[in-house]
Structure 1
Amino acid sequence: MGKVKILLKKSTNIAASALLLVSTLLPTLALKGQSVVSAATATTSLTPGGTVDTGNHTWGLSDFQTASNYTPVGKNTSGSGWTSSSTYNFGTYQTNTGSWLPFNGAVDMTHSITISGATFANAGGINPATHLGDANGILLTNLASSQLSGGATGGNLGVGNLGSGTYFIGNNYSHTPYYTLLDLSQGYQTASVVAQGNGSGAKILSASSDYTPNNNSTNAFSMSWTNPVLNSDGTVTGTISYTSRNAGTDYTTSTSITVQKSMSIGFMAATGGNYAQMSVTINGTTAGKGVQPVNVNYLNTATGSQLAPKGTAWQNSTISANVGDKIGVVAPSGSGNAADNYDYLAPVAPAGYSFTSVSQPVTVQNFPSGTTNPNQINVSYTPQSQTAGFTYSYDPTAQRTPTAPPLFSASGVTDQTLVAASPNLQMNLAGQVPAGYYISKITSALGGTTVGSTTAGTLSSFFALNPTFDAIASNNQYQITLSALNQTGTVSFAYDTNVPVGAPILPASLALSGLTGSDLNFVMPTLPAGYTVSNVLAPNNVNYSSVAAALAANNYFIAGINNFKVTISAMAQSGTVSYSWASNVPGQNGVVGELQATLPSATSLSGVTGSVINFTPTIPTGYGIDTVTAPDGKIYTDTTTSGMTALQAAQAANSTFVNGANNFTISLRALMQKVELNVVADQASGPNPPTNPDSQTITTALTGAPVSITDIASAQNWLNNWMTNNATGWAIKNYVDPEGQSYTDSTKSLAEAVSGAGGVVLAGNNTYTANLTYNGSISFVSVPSTIDFGSHSIVSSEEDYTGALDQSVVVSDTRATSLLTPWTVSVAQTSPIQEVTQNGTDGSGNPVYVPVTGGISFMNYLSYDGTVLTDNPETIYSTTTAATGTTTVIDAGTSSLFKLSVPVDFQKSNTNFEGSLTWTLTSAP
């Protein structure tokens, strides 16, 4: 047995050469032996999914002895061919040849098979008797004869590489001799073998004992397939046996193998380095014909796919036919083809289709189980043109709907899916939907309904059902229901640019929601007091002056934008600033005096709510703000807020316009003012002008209050005294009141000027001016400071005493000649001589005397030149014609004319007496 293993290597190489030619030499392997069978006119109609059987499934000897039932293949062969009706010469009489005689039919492995005949081998070479080679026998394979050359999978093409479904059953002429290389007397060994190809896993399944064949002899053989059992997976298990008779002895090998139901069969011979002329003679055959299914497929020409009328697929029909039979299908109303073994009528076209064509008849081929069946016939039907219509309508509950989209059509063919016919159909249907609406339902003419919450959802659900064009035109109509989408919007609020900073917080935005076309309305929230709607930008992008107007023009929801932008403006506000007098203003409400101003006119205030109130009140000169009554109803004074005036406090607390009253009432009070007297000497009018004195305050009083006579007189006295003491030779030229009015009459009195200006404290300037000019002067150069009547002893009689003057009475007249007027000197006892007592001393240490209550008084006892002096001035000297110069009226060095009469009872010891005289110099004007 060890020597027959060489078979696989040798026969593989040889078979590779032979089989390599099969694909080009055997494009079609027709069973010529069956061409005598004429196909009757086709009368049997195929049924989708149905099965028919051709019958006639047994092979006879004549089939295997008919040369036309084989298609020989050879490489490096010479003279191959049929030498008789039963004997075939392989033409292998040289090295490296391969010759295969495949039978065009197949055998049914579910039935027993027997093949008998004889093999012939005639060796060549140096010693023909010892160079017999290499293999001669039967080839059994699951490959179709046209596939044998393509069955190789490795570098060594041949039996082994044809796959595990290929078997060699026959003589293995081994090329490994028993002899040594120097001993050429020994022959090669042979065995009957069953070998299985499988690439590198190829192996000999069984072998007989070795024997030495006779050269140039014929060996009878028999091959049998017995006890076949059909397995559940469709394979068949049985016993394969091969017997070769040599020199009267049978060499048999047998083994169990599992094969597919239909197998190809044939004869082969091959040589390697050794060679032999080989042939085979076929004497007997019993076998079932190999049967393979022919699939008749029903195709839709529009899709190229399986025909599926009304969605029900037409399954292929199956024709069980013998391998090698020519099977055809003709039109439903056609007749058979004489060249075919069997013809069948195609099914009548279903509704909505037309029969189109059928593919060429097929010659049935064997093929390995598990591979694609090559026996296919396609019957094609053309679907008829169809049109689907989509009608749009609105849900009855939708409001204010626009015009419905027009009918939308899509073209296709029967049973074609709508999407396949119109890939953009879903997009196009969605594109027809008006803004603000969606496809909520699609209803077919057959009553099917698809719903969804969105257009995309509804369409997706609809097309997920793969709707197709129906053969009945009316069934291709669809009703699309459009429903309103929910729309949203907002009502937002914003102040316009003129609203002052610090305005109240605006209302929160309002959310709007409703179906397209449904009523749109909202309630305007209450705005802060003093603010109002000035503009509304509505969804239609138009500005309105009110919410009502905006809603009237935008009263339902639309697709897209449903937003309202409400602009809030501050309302116009107004107020007044009015004035009143305080209760203590002179000249008002019965208060003595005279108003120095009229109340300012009321002024108007204007602005918007929240804007700053800014005004400057009109305050008459001489008056000020007493109180301010503000819009908040409070009365503000200068003490209301520390550090602020009444006005500042009121404005700070009422700084912006409010919605309502914005009125301020300012109460005016009279200001306390100084009334002053200025003395101004004309410096160029005379020698040694006096220095102007500081202003003299006449009075301090409220504006409009009367200037009292007392205050005027006091001021006048001050002026007179000052002039006497500081402005000798100077005279009042005129008085000028605060308003610039000049007073030059003879009186030249301050009272006249004050009276001329109104006699009251003026609102503004209250300065009176006394203008002085140099006129010269007439005045005392000296007058006595004392008249001393001496100290005398008490006597019992009335005494007269003469007074001694310490100074003379001298008058100086320096007036201009044009101003000279007569003048007089008078004297008056302004304080009578009376009893006094010492009461301390003055700052210089001189004693101070005060009258003694109830003491002695010399009133009416003092005389001058015989005339008793009283408190009325007594003229003691006068001129008729004045002259410039100095006049001594009384010379102190002469006897005095002053005489004091002292009665007895007035004489009192240790008693002091004192009195006062007033000297008056008077010059007529």
Structure 2
Amino acid sequence: MFPLTLVKAETNNIIVNPGDKIDTGNHDFSPTELKETTNWGILGTSSPWWDANGYTLMLNNQGKDKVGYGVFKYALDFSKPVKLTASFGVNINNAYTYAAGDSLGFILTDVNANEITKGQSGGGLGILGIPNAIFAGRDFYYNFGIPTYDSSVGQVTEGPLLGRVNGSSQITIRQTSADGLSLLKPDTLSAVSAQYGIFNKGSGSTKSTGIDYVQLEWIPTDGGMVTSSGKVSGYLKLTYGSGVDANGDVNGSTTSVLYGNPTDSSLQLSQMLSIGVAGATGGNYSDLSFNAQSSYLTGSKATQDVKVNYINAVTGKKILTKEQAVIHANVGDTVSLHSPSASPDSNRDFYEYLAPDLTSEGFTFKGISTGNSIDTSNNNSTSDLTVLNNDEIITTPEGLETPTNNTFNIYYTPTLQSAKFISWYSQGTPGTSEALTDISGTVFAQPSNTPTTPGKAAALPKALSIEGYLEDAVPEPALEIPKGYKIAKVIGPDKKVYSSIELARLANLLLYMNDNEFNVVLEANTHRASFSYQYGKGTPGVDDNTGLPSTTPTTPGPMAPELPQISAAEDQQGTTGSPIASPIINPIDIPGYSVTSILKPGNTLVPVATGIHPESDWMSWDYSQETITGEDSQFVYIITPDVQTSIVGFVYSPGTPGVDEGGIPSDNPVIPGKAAPLPAAQKISGVTNGLLTIEKPNIPAGYTIDYVIGPDGTSYSVEGTLLTMINMKGQVTTETVAAGTTALEAANNHHPYFIIAPNIIANNFAVYLKALPRTSMIYFDVSKVDAPDEVPQPKNITLSQGVTGSIISKNDIDTAVSALQAMITDENGYEKWEISQVLGPNKDELDLNVIEGNNNAIIGQLPTLINKTPYLLGESSDYKNDDGDKVVNNYIFKLSYSGKLLLTVPDTLSFGDHFVNGGNPVYTGQLSDDVIVTDERAILTPWTLTVEELSPIQEINPITLLPLVKGVGVTFTDCLSFGENEETAKTLTSSNSIEIFKQDFGTSNPITVLPRSHPSIQFYLKVPDEKQKVGKNYSGKLEWTIELVK
């Protein structure tokens, strides 16, 4: 709004130190300052222009409904008299004076000069819309009613034709409401009629140009006293005339109006007001102007205090030791503030100042900002401020009371300072001794191995050194206060006592080059130690989470016995670290359970019971080293179940063959026989009330469980699905069990846990076994290959019946022998059959080498075979040996038919003696006898005869007749053949047999397969030249095989 003009500054780099009060001076106006064109700004339709009378500010030449302003750069101090004199011009281009427009004159407002916005044209006098604004000048037009409330004074009548119209010659002083939305109703003194002073244009017509010489005066009352709200009392006087003298007073024909009462203080205006001139048009218009060259000003400049704040750039708050400085300056002047090291330009029309250097006090310059907003990120080294009028004083969020605009904030970065936090215990804390007494009278104590107050104290937190910024609160220390202690008080660097670290650090901001030491005093909390019993984890019948007996235990078992109670009278209360006295606790009386350890506070388990701490000694365990912990705690006596053992023993029931009176296998048994070894006894370990699980025993074959005697003396026996139980009093009870349940399983089901009970001596089981019935049979295995169809299968013979281990009696053996001899008779059809093999139990077999073919002799040796295993075995009767023969408790007679297929072969095949002839001769072999097959079988079936070279003809030792060592001598490999002639003969090898003869139908007559003399098929030997040697002997082997044709 205002033009920039460079003039020399009024100051010389003055440093604005904290607390300074600096006055820029130059507070009174010179009479000609209104004439300075640089002191005016324009707004709206205003535009400066020159005419013959000198510089004139044209306020309005834009036609209808326009407003133009000239705004003076400076504000005036209305606590002192003010006089404004100037001339206003009107160029009316209409036949009627009311056609000049709406208004023309001075305006006053407490709004800053550079913040004035346009008011309304027309009846608004150019100020409607500006709060608390005052217009003093001509009102060209009568605008009646709301919101202008115009006075009819000066309303003009323009001749007989037009009569009375709304044109007006009124001069007036009007004011807007506090909100600026209406004009206040005028009083009787504020408006009069005044004609134009000079008419120098046109002749014989009302069309004219008018010039008014106008003076506006403010006369303070009450001695110019300023109220607490910044108001002063007085009145305004507006005078119109036809000229002006050298002192700025209008003269000639004058007319005046007043605003306010000279006799009272009813009119109050703001002390500091901006001034200006305004010209407004409505439906009518003309050229409206203000002539600055004819102006005159008497008064003092409005001033404001510019506040300078010294801000900690970290905290955003004022530096504690730096008070606000004040620069008293004129409204409208520009004040500039620079960094401490700057060299400002002295040619600027600014008041130049320097920020102080606070480096020696721990602060480094950072930047400068203006206004009431704190911006700690600001890094500007220079900041300019134009002083505003009536600047509101506010309190910032940081607690600064400062103007909204007229404020400099100088930011300084504080240096880092160190604070130390040292921890102590208060006097009398268990386990401590006094160390020193503070200036505040506080006695500091610390842990000691020889404390003056008995007990144990936790180690104090380590001393902490924490950095923070100067004049800021030191950051919250991460002080690790031991469990069971709390802060009793804190001694700050100011030696005052605080109840917390928070209060101490907020009250003791970090100071420059100070020890900044905080002494934190801890005291022990009060806690209780109690004593109780609890079952150890894994105890059957107990909830591991609570250590208490439970019907839904973690480890299966009957609910554990109720825990004994330790009297609450044994509980002890004290402060953390104070000694615990040994309680009086009696040994527990729970059969099958013992105290094995103590669970101390902190989940520390004293080792399990030893010779030093047997169960009873736990009750008098030495507590001399124990203290109250940092919380309510318990010493828990851990009860665990004792180790229990169950023996599952095995014996045979009375009457079992092969055992003594105690049911143990014996060589001198009560009943003859042989008993199988008993199963090994099971030794099962567990704990009281723990699961007792018996493994399935390996019962010897041929035996079963007869009955079981359980831990309480009850016998258990099972028949099918019926369980019978007989207790020690002879009382019988029964119940149904699942099929296949054994007496041992039933007994275990009734005693599934290791228990301690009056009728239970030990958790043992006695298992009685009995021998199962067994039968020994004689079976016949008849060969089906060569058996005649008409021969029947012999019936099996029962040898003996009894139980496992019982003896096969002589009478049973004799009876069996007689039955066998009766069967092998001609009348039974077995005269051509022979006993080929006799098998017995345990893979025994009768040796038939001497008596082969003599059935009666073989049957007579049966007792010999039985005596190898003279008792009944326990394995099931369907057991078979590796050949699939049933042999357990059974004897097998294998029968084969007596007919045979016989083969007769010659002893030698000779190729004779020959001379060495040097060629490759072939010689024919000569058999020493015929090859004959005789078939004596009852059923004649086809057969074949084959021959193969078992070993080739080779040179032998003439004395031993054995072949020479391999690689020495001659061998006729692939030289022997057999056929009708030597050309078609097939070569014999060890891997190639040749069929000599095949009989396709049965015959009982002997067959000469190969005659000794003149055979049609012969053996041939080819003798290569290189294999012929003088005086050497040779030998080889043939194998003849007769096979049945399937």
Superposition TM-score, scaled by structure 1 size: 0.51
- Could you say which residue in structure 2 is the equivalent of 1:353? 363
CA distance in 2, matches of 1:571, 1:503: 16
Residues 283 and 331 (structure 1 numbering): CA distance in 2 closer, same or farther, change over 3 Å?
same
- Could you say which residue in structure 2 is the equivalent of 1:220? 213
CA distance in 2, matches of 1:149, 1:345: 35
2:450 pairs with 1:438:
no
Residue of 131, 143, 163 corresponding to 2:99: 131
Residue of 233, 236, 244 corresponding to 2:240: 244
Structure 1 residues 747-826: aligned runs within 5 Å: none
Tell me, what secondary structure is at the counterpart of 1:131? helix
- Could you say which residue in structure 2 is the equivalent of 1:89? 58
CA displacement, residues 296-352 of structure 1 (integer Å, 9 cap, x when unaligned): 12111222322214xxxx332111111222223344565554115433443442622
CA distance in 1, matches of 2:562, 2:84: 116
2:192 pairs with 1:209:
yes
Aligned-partner residue type, residue 468 of structure 1 = L
- Could you say which residue in structure 2 is the equivalent of 1:171? 138
- Could you say which residue in structure 2 is the equivalent of 1:342? 351
Question: Which structure shows the higher helix fraction?
Answer: 1
CA distance in 2, matches of 1:244, 1:85: 21
Residues 244 and 180 (structure 1 numbering): CA distance in 2 closer, same or farther, change over 3 Å?
closer
Aligned-partner residue type, residue 527 of structure 2 = Q
CA displacement, residues 246-295 of structure 1 (integer Å, 9 cap, x when unaligned): 79643321122312221111111111111111112333221111111111
Aligned-partner residue type, residue 277 of structure 2 = F
CA distance in 1, matches of 2:76, 2:562: 106
Residue of 355, 366, 381 corresponding to 2:389: 366
Deviation at 1:170, TM superposition (A): 0.9
CA distance in 1, matches of 2:624, 2:585: 20
1:507–1:527 Cα contact (<8 Å) kept: no
Deviation at 1:69, TM superposition (A): 0.7
2:419–2:510 Cα contact (<8 Å) kept: yes
Deviation at 1:533, TM superposition (A): 6.7
CA displacement, residues 557-578 of structure 1 (integer Å, 9 cap, x when unaligned): 3334631223579999xxxxxx
Residue of 43, 47, 60 corresponding to 2:30: 60
Higher relative contact order, structure no. (Cα contacts within 8 Å, ≥ 6 residues apart): 1
2:408 pairs with 1:377:
yes
2:302 pairs with 1:302:
no
Structure 1 residues 230-629: aligned runs within 5 Å: 230-233=225-228, 234-245=230-241, 249-256=253-260, 257-281=267-291, 282-309=294-321, 314-332=322-340, 335-338=343-346, 339-349=348-358, 351-359=361-369, 360-367=383-390, 372-395=403-426, 397-399=429-431, 400-418=456-474, 422=475, 425=476, 428-429=478-479, 432-451=480-499, 458-463=500-505, 465-472=506-513, 474-493=514-533, 506-509=565-568, 510-526=570-586, 534-535=595-596, 536-539=598-601, 540-542=603-605, 544-545=608-609, 546-547=617-618, 551=622, 555-560=626-631, 562-566=633-637
Residues 615 and 332 (structure 1 numbering): CA distance in 2 closer, same or farther, change over 3 Å?
closer
1:326–1:364 Cα contact (<8 Å) kept: yes
- Could you say which residue in structure 1 is the equivalent of 2:7? 36
Aligned-partner residue type, residue 600 of structure 2 = A
1:83–1:89 Cα contact (<8 Å) kept: no
2:88–2:288 Cα contact (<8 Å) kept: yes
Aligned-partner residue type, residue 112 of structure 2 = A
Tell me, what secondary structure is at the counterpart of 1:469? coil
Tell me, what secondary structure is at the counterpart of 1:119? strand
CA displacement, residues 689-719 of structure 1 (integer Å, 9 cap, x when unaligned): xxxxxxxxxxxxxxxxxxxxxxxxxxxxxxx
Residues 525 and 55 (structure 1 numbering): CA distance in 2 closer, same or farther, change over 3 Å?
same
CA distance in 1, matches of 2:119, 2:287: 27
CA distance in 2, matches of 1:520, 1:190: 109
Tell me, what secondary structure is at the counterpart of 1:294? strand
- Could you say which residue in structure 2 is the equivalent of 1:8? none
CA displacement, residues 375-429 of structure 1 (integer Å, 9 cap, x when unaligned): 22222222112222323444574423444433433322110122xxx4xx25x23
Deviation at 1:526, TM superposition (A): 4.7
Deviation at 1:223, TM superposition (A): 0.9
CA displacement, residues 808-832 of structure 1 (integer Å, 9 cap, x when unaligned): xxxxxxxxxxxxxxxxxxxxxxxxx
Residues 571 and 210 (structure 1 numbering): CA distance in 2 closer, same or farther, change over 3 Å?
same
Deviation at 1:146, TM superposition (A): 1.7
Aligned-partner residue type, residue 72 of structure 1 = I
Tell me, what secondary structure is at the counterpart of 1:406? coil
Residues 502 and 145 (structure 1 numbering): CA distance in 2 closer, same or farther, change over 3 Å?
closer
CA distance in 1, matches of 2:350, 2:47: 35
Residue of 143, 148, 164 corresponding to 2:111: 143
Residues 462 and 150 (structure 1 numbering): CA distance in 2 closer, same or farther, change over 3 Å?
farther
Aligned-partner residue type, residue 352 of structure 2 = D
CA distance in 2, matches of 1:388, 1:83: 78
CA displacement, residues 852-880 of structure 1 (integer Å, 9 cap, x when unaligned): xxxxxxxxxxxxxxxxxxxxxxxxxxxxx
Deviation at 1:112, TM superposition (A): 0.9
Aligned-partner residue type, residue 100 of structure 1 = Y
Deviation at 1:57, TM superposition (A): 1.3
Residues 449 and 501 (structure 1 numbering): CA distance in 2 closer, same or farther, change over 3 Å?
closer
How much identity, in percent, do the aligned residues show?
Answer: 21
1:40–1:336 Cα contact (<8 Å) kept: no
CA distance in 2, matches of 1:519, 1:78: 98
Structure 1 residues 635-674: aligned runs within 5 Å: none
Residues 571 and 89 (structure 1 numbering): CA distance in 2 closer, same or farther, change over 3 Å?
closer
2:362–2:414 Cα contact (<8 Å) kept: yes
Superposition TM-score, scaled by structure 2 size: 0.45
- Could you say which residue in structure 1 is the equivalent of 2:662? none
- Could you say which residue in structure 2 is the equivalent of 1:600? none
CA distance in 1, matches of 2:571, 2:419: 43
Aligned-partner residue type, residue 508 of structure 1 = S
Aligned-partner residue type, residue 245 of structure 1 = G
2:417–2:468 Cα contact (<8 Å) kept: yes
Pair member with larger Rg: 1
Residues 223 and 471 (structure 1 numbering): CA distance in 2 closer, same or farther, change over 3 Å?
same
Aligned-partner residue type, residue 383 of structure 1 = P
CA distance in 2, matches of 1:189, 1:123: 14
2:118–2:126 Cα contact (<8 Å) kept: no
1:116–1:285 Cα contact (<8 Å) kept: yes
CA distance in 2, matches of 1:471, 1:151: 56
